[in-house]
Structure 1
Amino acid sequence: MLPLLGPSTLRDTLALPVDWVGDPLTYMTPVVGRDALLAGTAVDARARLLPVDPVLDGALDRYTMVRDGFLQHRNALVHDAAGGGPLQEGQADAEEPPSSEPAASISAAAQREAVLSQ
């Protein structure tokens, strides 16, 4: 996580130049229109984060809390996309995927609900 760029990983950081070159806003003219769209994007991102402010105010170390939350969220996204569901604490990546039998398999959404309800 980079303090100036917000939650990211080393992989994200190395991809930043490619993202900037591939962003259509980079080539938009007039510049005033581009700047207005970028400002709107920044305001929207801040508005989406407003509900998180009370949680961060109660944190002992805001940086650590944001970093850990980001990495947990990223882990869940990666493992959900792979079809295995999010990893549970202490579970290794190399474990066998769950059984494909209907009674033995639990959907990723059901697993997430069970973890959140604990």
Structure 2
Amino acid sequence: MKKFTPASVVLTVVLVGSPTFSGQVLAQQFVSDPLEPVNTKVHAFNQFMDKHFLLPVARGYRKYIPGPARQGVSNFFSNIGDISVLANNLLQMKLEAAANDTGRIMINTTIGIGGLLDVATAIGFTPNDEDFGQTLGYWGIGTGPYIVLPLFGPSTLRDAIGFSVDTATNPISHQDNVRIRNSAFALEQLDKRVDAMSVESLITGDPYIFMREAYLQQREYLVNDGQANQDWDQEWDWD
């Protein structure tokens, strides 16, 4: 679950796991970006913060922390994230997916030692990807304008609202010990930034435009559960 983090962390969400993205951007006519003058400035600020603060730490983390330990961290936060995924599948009335999420949480929390091991995936309980922004889209709420959030990165009005709800329902947000809560938050963002490092080479052209179009296409893909937007397919050649 995304929280306070430089914009480049969003690359994990934007680029990873989108079979429909081929390196081309969506046509300008499909983009609602009335705040572009402000968004570009926020984007530049986020890139600066990432370059000078988070990225150097992420490089050190990847260099000095063993791979199995880093994987355990990723699994742990993924297990926590499955709680939000379960809630949103229930809100979308996807009961079969919700049952799968329940199985994942139970198996990984117990046999997986608190989520450090992803036993559930190994035995066939595949992970789902749902959040409250997708739930709003599922019930017909439009995206609204594109927004670049300071330190959070690409979003839309709908996803910003969804992000607030997902943050409020994240168990880490309700940890009473401030030091533990902040440390867990920082480690989660560091883990995401390390993941994003593997896809940065895919960025071409203007980084702002690339990230905007990739983010919007990825979110459309997720809201439609992997079904490409037919209007785009009819209007544009995606080869």
TM (norm. structure 2) is: 0.33
Measure how far apart 1:21 and its partner are. 2.7
Change (3 A) 1:79 1:21: closer
Which protein has the larger Cα radius of gyration, Structure 1 or Structure 2?
Answer: 1
Change (3 A) 1:9 1:22: same
C-alpha distance in 1 between matches for 2:219 and 2:209: 15
Change (3 A) 1:27 1:78: closer
Aligned length: 89
1:54 and 2:201 aligned: yes
Measure how far apart 1:38 and its partner are. 0.6
C-alpha distance in 1 between matches for 2:178 and 2:159: 26
Query: Does structure 1 conserve the Cα–Cα contact (< 8 Å) formed by 2:149 and 2:155?
Result: no
Task: Please tell me the residue identity of whatever aligns with 2:220.
Answer: N
Q: Residues 92-115 of structure 1: CA distance to partner in whole angstroms, max 9, x if unpaired?
A: 9xxxxxxxxxxxxxxxxxxxxxx6
Measure how far apart 1:60 and its partner are. 2.5
For structure 2, the 5+ residue unaligned runs are: 1-146
Change (3 A) 1:37 1:65: same
C-alpha distance in 2 between matches for 1:11 and 1:43: 26
Query: Does structure 2 conserve the Cα–Cα contact (< 8 Å) formed by 1:77 and 1:86?
Result: no
Change (3 A) 1:19 1:77: closer
Measure how far apart 1:18 and its partner are. 2.9
Measure how far apart 1:90 and its partner are. 4.5
C-alpha distance in 2 between matches for 1:54 and 1:22: 34
- Superposition CA RMSD, Å: 2.3
2:170 aligns to what?
A: 23
TM (norm. structure 1) is: 0.62
C-alpha distance in 2 between matches for 1:64 and 1:78: 21
Measure how far apart 1:35 and its partner are. 1.4
Change (3 A) 1:24 1:10: same
C-alpha distance in 1 between matches for 2:159 and 2:191: 21
